[in-house]
Amino acid sequence: MAIASARVNQARYREFCRTAPHVPVFAQAWYLDACREGGAWDVALAEEDGRVVAALPYFFKQKGPFRYATMPPFVKWLGPYVLPEFRGVLKKEHGLLEELIRQLPPLAAFKQNFYPGSTNWLPFYWQKFRQTTYYTYRLHDLQNLKQVEAGLNRNIRRNLQKAREQVRVVNNLGPERFYAINKLSFDRQNLAMPYSWGQFERHDAALAANGARQLFFAVDAQERVHSAAYLIWDQQAAYYHLSGDDPALRDSGAGILLIWEAIRYASEVLGLDCFDFEGSMLPAVERIRVQFGAVQTPYFFVWKYNSRAFELLEKLRP
Strand segments (E) across 189-294? 213-219, 225-233, 238-245, 274-276
Cβ(23)–Cβ(72) under 8 Å?
A: no
Domain 2-134+298-316: homologous superfamily in CATH: Gcn5-related N-acetyltransferase (GNAT) (3.40.630.30)
Mean pLDDT of 116-141: 97
Tell me whether domains 2-134+298-316 and 142-272 share a fold: yes
> Structural domain boundaries of the chain?
2-134+298-316, 142-272
pLDDT digits 0-9 by tens, 142-201: 999 999 999 999 999 999 999 999 999 999 999 999 999 999 999 999 999 999 999 999
Residue type, 308: R
Tell me the pLDDT band of 208, cut-offs 50, 70 and 90.
very high
Rg (Cα) of the chain, in Å, rounded?
21
Helices 197-209 and 174-188, packing angle to 10 deg: 130
pLDDT digits 0-9 by tens, 56-73: 999 999 999 999 999 999
Residue 8 has a pLDDT of 84
φ/ψ (deg, to 5) at 45: -125, 140
Q: If you classify domain 142-272 with CATH, what class do you get?
A: alpha beta
- Asked whether the predicted pLDDT for residue 1 surpasses 50, the reply is no
| CA-based max dimension of the chain | 63
